[in-house]
Structure 1
């Protein structure tokens, strides 16, 4: 089915319907055990072209693909902002989707000039990078913003679990969430890939023209350097992770004036940036 993505400024909240998990039959490691069903996360292959030029093929969760394409385009420096995306057309197949994206001439020229083949995976976000300059790019320095109030982190893991509709039924999914200035979870995006989840969130927030310098963004995954790149390019104010960051990640957050906070399981939140 061929469908054109409609442009909208409406922001989908955390209670919006999520793609249904797939039910798979299994039995325990016992010949006498009865067969049961488990709900497992679904995934599809997504191929993205820009003005007819193939750029990436990756495995993603099937929901919120328009958000993912917008966020992927911004956070990978293919477009400067959403005004350079003119059209998105999705062609759906049984286990795959083709996304044909029309972008501005300026963005397309820059893409061809600096193009690299990127075969996305749910693990390494640097697959296909051909030069150190691309792995460690020059990024703009952000304008500092105040840290979120400490009270916003009370019970945050439980609130994240409530917002993760897909993970509750199927598991095996990362999430990226935006919390507003009052500490309320406004939007949640989930995916098998941690980079994909953040890209989906960035796309949703930019489409709705939400000022992400206010409030904070949470990722449930390991906070890798690539996520810092995406956060800085999307001009997020505060990035919060549930897993500890690496030393290099902290250095980049400090250098680019991105607030970076880690929320451990049993200890108080830790502020790594600003120092």
Structure 2
């Protein structure tokens, strides 16, 4: 997929004036400034056909659009994206995606109206048959060692600069089998962060053959589907899963590990490597 020279993008955060209230203190208020994450409308246009307006943090937009295009089923691989053009506007950002001719013709045959929200990954789906679904794995992925998850968790926060600054964004990370974090993307929307990560890995020529996805949000149906579409064998989340996420993980052959903490995690689907397997690697 060609890499376009992106124009200047809006900042991912900006400072605002705030007043901190101290309960019961002699001086109850303190004027200060705080960094807040930017939430901006991103209008995604394929050819000349507007497709979606997503609310997102305006950083790593090419990665976001590439990952979104894959997990939405617009493309089967990023090579079908011929170009991405960004046009900042006063109201937000317009992103025009040039698809391969055959892929664009197939896209025109689809009909979907999506109004994006940072908390919703399925807004605008017109019927249950339109829910995006991945294909089940043809072979079981090699299980990840629990120690690798612990290693990734121990370094994750240090690789979330926007979250450290604003305390208001999600992160998605790609980790190798030893738990080393190879890539991180952040966004106000948890789905957006994962799409950015997927897009970044694919645009860099990497796949999901050996490693796992780590997300700071809950594990919902959409997060499981996106990870499976990418080809990941394991999804780890800091929060709990939903019932449909567990059902889909089992159906797709995806290992789902949730409520991940420094000293423990809960496996809801699939399995992790046992100590014997881990030592034999």
TM-score (norm 1): 0.88
| 1:47-86 superposed matches below 5 A | 47-86=43-82
Cα distance, 1:263 vs. partner? Answer: 3.6
Superposed CA offset, 1:57-79 (max 9, x none): 11110110000000000011000
Equivalent position to 2:220, from 219, 224, 240: 224
Moved more, 144-153 or 64-73: 144-153
**Contact 1:77–1:233, Cα closer than 8 Å, also in 2:** no
Distance 2:218 2:259 in 1: 12
Cα distance, 1:5 vs. partner? Answer: 1.9
Residues 1:139 and 2:134 aligned together: yes
Change (3 A) 1:153 1:125: same
Distance 1:151 1:158 in 2: 11
Change (3 A) 1:36 1:115: same
Distance 1:51 1:118 in 2: 17
**Contact 1:69–1:203, Cα closer than 8 Å, also in 2:** yes
Distance 1:227 1:48 in 2: 20
State the superposition RMSD in angstroms: 2.1
Distance 1:36 1:244 in 2: 35
**Contact 1:5–1:90, Cα closer than 8 Å, also in 2:** no
Structure 2 match to 1:199: 195
Distance 2:187 2:64 in 1: 10
Q: Where does the alignment leave 5 or more consecutive residues of structure 1 unmatched?
A: 8-18
Distance 1:138 1:220 in 2: 22
Q: Where does the alignment leave 5 or more consecutive residues of structure 2 unmatched?
A: 272-281
Distance 1:138 1:58 in 2: 20
3-state secondary structure, aligned to 2:75: coil
Equivalent position to 2:15, from 6, 11, 23: 23
Cα distance, 1:155 vs. partner? Answer: 5.2
Structure number, greater radius of gyration: 2
Structure 2 match to 1:119: 115
3-state secondary structure, aligned to 1:229: helix
Cα distance, 1:95 vs. partner? Answer: 4.7
Change (3 A) 1:259 1:25: same
Cα distance, 1:242 vs. partner? Answer: 0.8
Instruction: Give the number of the structure with larger relative contact order, counting CA–CA contacts within 8 Å between residues 6 or more apart.
Output: 1
Cα distance, 1:183 vs. partner? Answer: 1.2
Residues 1:37 and 2:33 aligned together: yes
Structure 2 match to 1:182: 178
Moved more, 58-67 or 155-164: 155-164
Cα distance, 1:267 vs. partner? Answer: 5.8
Change (3 A) 1:32 1:243: closer
Structure 1 match to 2:275: none
Superposed CA offset, 1:13-60 (max 9, x none): xxxxxx552111011347962311011111221101001100001111
Equivalent position to 1:242, from 230, 234, 238: 238
Structure 1 match to 2:278: none
Distance 1:260 1:32 in 2: 46
